[in-house]
Structure 1
Amino acid sequence: MDYGGTMPQLQENLCSLLHHARQETSILSPLRVMVINDMLYLIHIKGLAEHASPKERSQHQLAFMDLEKSCCKLLTNIEANDTVLEMLSIQDRFSAKYPVDKAVDAPVIRPGITKQMSGLPERTIDGECTDNHNDNRTLLLVDLSAFLGTTQIALPSLNGWLLGYPVTYLFRNGSAEAAIQNLSMHSLHIYRVYVCGSCQSGGKQSEEELMSSLWPEHEA
C-alpha cells in the first residue's frame, strides 16, 4: 500500500512492474493493483476475498476504537455505533464483490475499452499501464473509488481493516481533526512486527518490518 507518490504515475509504475514480474513467474498471477481514491494497494485477489469473508470475520472479530470520541476505550456495544455499522457494511460489500466460493478473479480490462466491473458502473479505463511494445497487454487495475464513493469511513480506518490490524481506529471523513486531537491527548506507543530471516546458513539475520501500529499507553 502506498499514498506518497504522484498519481497516476505511481499507479502506472506499479502496474508496469507487476506486468513484467508476472511474465517471470506464475506465482504472481493472483496479484492486482487496487485503487481507492489516492490510495494504491497491491492485493492478492483470493486473499482479499478470504479476508473479507463472513467466516474469516467471525473467527477473528475486530476490536474498534472510535477516535471521534476517545482513543482509549474499546467499543463494547458496536450495534449502537453508526460508524462501526458503516464499517461492517463496507466489509459486507467487499465480501459480496469477492466471494470465496466462486472462481475469484479481478476483471481483466484492455487499454481504452469500456467494461462493466461486477457491481460497478461502466467507465472507461484510459490506458493506464500501457506498453508500446505490447498493445494487447491486459490491465491489472481494479479501481474501487466509485464502489466506495458514498461511504463516509475515512481511508485510514479502512486501511486498518485491510492490513489486518487487531484494533481498528474509526473515524469519518469529516472528523479527522477530532480524531487527531483525541490521539494527541494521550501518550502513545508504536508497536512493530518484524520478520527475521537469514539468506544462508551462518549468515547474519535480517529484519524486515511487517507492520506497525500506534496504541494508547494504558491500552497496550
Structure 2
Amino acid sequence: MELQDVEEIFDLLDSCILRIKWRLRPSSKRRLGTDFLALCTGLRAVVMVDYGGKMPELQDRLCDLLSLMCKECAILLSLRILVIDDMIYIIHSEGHTELSNLSLEQRLLFVDLEVDPPQLLLPTNQTMAVSEFLSVQKLFLSLFPDDAFPNPLHRASSPAMVPEAELSVCKATNVARIADPAAHHSCEIIDLTSCLRDAQITIPALNGWLLGYPVVYLFRKEHATDAVYNLSTKNLHIYRIIICRLRNCY
C-alpha cells in the first residue's frame, strides 16, 4: 500500500463519519482508522470493534460507514462486518496468504484454563475442548469462498455440533453475501450467532484465533467459572504492540 492510499483512507474515514453524523470520540476514530489500515495492509485478518458505542447501534453505524466508504475506495471492497452474539468485527474476506492468521495449517498454541494450574497443551494432546474448537474453526472458514483464505477447508463433511439443516442455511446465506458485490455495497451483516448457538467453545477462546493472539485461552462454556478462577489467580505478563504512521503514533 502506498502512502497516498493510506492518506486516502484516513481522509475518507473522516469525511464519511461526518456524512453519517457519527459522533465518535477522537480516540475511537483513531483506533478505527488504524484498524482499517491493519486490515488493508494484511497486518490483521480480523479486528474486533469494542469501541464507538454499543450494539445494535454500533452495528448500524459501522454498516453505514463501510457502505459509504466502499463506494469511493476500491481498497476497502474486501472488508466485511461479522457479528457473533453481541461482539462485532471487521474482517478481510480475502485474507493475505503471507500474513493472515486465518489458516487451518497454522498450529495454534492452546492454554487449557479448565485445569488448575492452566497448562499449555501439546500438539498431540487432543482434548474434547480442542476437538470442539477445531470444529468451530472449520465451520467458520467453510462459510467463505474457496479462495478467501489460505488452505481453506475441503467441505466434505460438517461439524457434528451444528445441525445439518441449520448449517446449510447459514452457509448459503453468508456465502451469497460475500460473493455478491451488490450485497456488499448494501453491507449485509455476516451473522454467525445462530450457527454457533450450540457450540461449547466460548467467545474469548474464539477471539484468540480470530485476532491472531500468540496463544489461545481454551475453555468450554460449562467450565467458564473454573476458567475465570484459574486465570484470575495467576500472574500475567502484559505486552503492548504500537503501530506507528509516518507522522503520528497510536
Normalising by structure 2, report the TM-score: 0.61
Query: Counterpart of 1:190 in 2: which secondary structure?
Result: coil
In structure 2, stretches of 5+ residues that fail to align are: 1-47, 150-165, 174-184
**Counterpart in 2 of 1:106?**
none
Letter paired with 2:121: L
In structure 1, stretches of 5+ residues that fail to align are: 104-116, 125-136, 200-205, 209-220
**Counterpart in 1 of 2:74?**
26
* In structure 2, C-alpha distance between the alignment counterparts of 1:14 and 1:68, rounded to whole Å: 36
**Counterpart in 2 of 1:194?**
242
Letter paired with 1:101: D
**Counterpart in 2 of 1:92?**
138
* In structure 2, C-alpha distance between the alignment counterparts of 1:80 and 1:27, rounded to whole Å: 40
**Does structure 1 conserve the Cα–Cα contact (< 8 Å) formed by 2:80 and 2:190?**
yes
Q: Deviations over 1:43-93 (max 9, x none)?
A: 111118964443xx2xx3111001111464211155431001111111111
**Counterpart in 2 of 1:212?**
none
Q: Map 1:40-59; keep pairs closer than 5 Å.
A: 40-47=88-95, 51-54=101-104, 57=105
- What displacement does 1:13 show? 0.6
Decide which of 200, 207, 213 is 2:249's aligned counterpart: 207
Higher strand share: 1
**Does structure 1 conserve the Cα–Cα contact (< 8 Å) formed by 2:81 and 2:187?**
no
Letter paired with 1:2: V
- What displacement does 1:102 show? 6.8
Higher helix share: 2
CA distance 1:71–1:23, change in 2 (3 Å): farther
**Counterpart in 2 of 1:2?**
49
Query: Counterpart of 2:239 in 1: which secondary structure?
Result: strand
* In structure 1, C-alpha distance between the alignment counterparts of 2:194 and 2:75, rounded to whole Å: 30
Letter paired with 2:139: R
Letter paired with 1:91: Q
Q: Map 1:10-159; keep pairs closer than 5 Å.
A: 10-47=58-95, 51-54=101-104, 57=105, 60-70=106-116, 72-76=118-122, 78-101=124-147, 119-121=168-170, 138-159=186-207
* In structure 2, C-alpha distance between the alignment counterparts of 1:120 and 1:155, rounded to whole Å: 22
**Does structure 2 conserve the Cα–Cα contact (< 8 Å) formed by 1:52 and 1:92?**
no
Size of the aligned set, in residue pairs, is 174
* In structure 2, C-alpha distance between the alignment counterparts of 1:93 and 1:36, rounded to whole Å: 13
CA distance 1:89–1:48, change in 2 (3 Å): farther
